[in-house]
Amino acid sequence: MAIRSISKKTTITRKSAGVLLFPVAAFLNGGGLSRKEAIEAFADAYDRSGRTMRAQRAEHIGNPLQYSDVVSLWTRDKKFLDRAGNPRPLSMSGKQGFLALLKQTGHKANANAVLTVLIRYGNVLRVKEGKLALVKPYFNTADLKNIAFEPHAYFLYDASSTMKRMITRGSKDLAAFWRKTENANLSEAAARRFFEFSRRRSLDFIQEMDDWLEAHANLKNKGRRVGLGVFSVYSKQGM
């Protein structure tokens, strides 16, 4: 994704915006909406988004991998697990502390800055004796007041890029895909139980995919960015 830093902040370029909007524009076009109607619809949505975003602040946190990799390694590497196999509380320093954990991810990031973000979004808590406890087995990126900009921007970019490749791909392209399961007859209580069930199962699945990627990665050479995303569905029937 074409993102540039401006005064310690990150912004979406016009080129990146085009990638995000292309699948939407393609479907609006294919659905019979005129260019004028599509622009008016976007302008209305843009204005409504401004009113909505006043309730939450979009915070620029930089490369989201420096946070998600910390959480991922903390939940899997034996050096950072207790005897039961759970992430153990870490001191800031030491051979098996938070600084060592961050260094092992390969990210050259400021440890205090990374820790501040992880604490702000409820991923890490300070516990007794000044140690740090991981309380979420995934990188949480939003709360009632703040939204981490970059993770959500990359999510939209990846979803849009996948859809664009599915619409325009040539015969030599890797076949982009998406998979979804749904049911429109669940009660609110059942929906809550499904969300809890799917969080647990999807986390195990994503960690398995992460293990495969790590095992096949070549750190000496830069290659293709490859991954898999899972998202939840929650709405009234229909679009």
pLDDT digits (tens, 9 = 90+) for 12-71: 778 888 888 888 898 899 899 999 999 999 999 988 887 766 666 778 899 999 999 999
Mean pLDDT, rounded, of the chain: 85
pLDDT of 190-203, one tens digit each? 999 999 999 889 98
**According to the model, what pLDDT value does residue 216 have?**
87
**According to the model, what pLDDT value does residue 156 have?**
87
d(CA 214, CA 84): 24
Contacts of 229 (CB under 8 A, 6+ apart): 155, 158, 159
The beta-carbon contacts of 155-160 under 8 Å, at least 24 apart in sequence, are 155/229, 155/231, 156/20, 157/1, 157/16, 157/19, 157/20, 158/227, 158/229, 159/229, 159/231, 160/19, 160/20, 160/21, 160/22, 160/23, 160/24
d(CA 167, CA 162): 9
**Residues 165-185, mean pLDDT to the nearest whole number:** 80
Amino acid, single-letter form, for residue 201: R
pLDDT at 7 over 50: no
pLDDT at 101 over 70: yes
pLDDT at 2 over 60: no
Q: pTM for this structure?
A: 0.77
Please answer whether residues 52 and 1 qualify as being in contact, where contact means their C-beta atoms are separated by less than 8 angstroms: no
Look-up: residue for tokens 């040539």? 170
d(CA 42, CA 46): 6
d(CA 64, CA 3): 13
Local confidence band at 84 (pLDDT 50, 70, 90 cut-offs): very high
**According to the model, what pLDDT value does residue 5 have?**
33
Written as six digits, the tokens of 43 are: 């302008």
**According to the model, what pLDDT value does residue 128 have?**
87
Question: E-strand spans in the chain?
Answer: 3-6, 9-12, 57-59, 124-126, 132-134, 146-148
Please answer whether residues 126 and 119 qualify as being in contact, where contact means their C-beta atoms are separated by less than 8 angstroms: yes
Look-up: residue for tokens 């946190």? 61
pLDDT of 118-172, one tens digit each? 999 999 999 988 899 999 988 999 887 788 888 988 888 888 888 888 887 765 6
**According to the model, what pLDDT value does residue 54 have?**
62
Please answer whether residues 229 and 156 qualify as being in contact, where contact means their C-beta atoms are separated by less than 8 angstroms: no
d(CA 174, CA 170): 9
**Residue 8 Rama label (left phi>0; alpha psi -120 to 50; beta):** left
Within 10 angstroms of residue 118's Cβ, the number of other Cβ atoms is 24
Please answer whether residues 19 and 160 qualify as being in contact, where contact means their C-beta atoms are separated by less than 8 angstroms: yes
pLDDT at 239 over 70: no
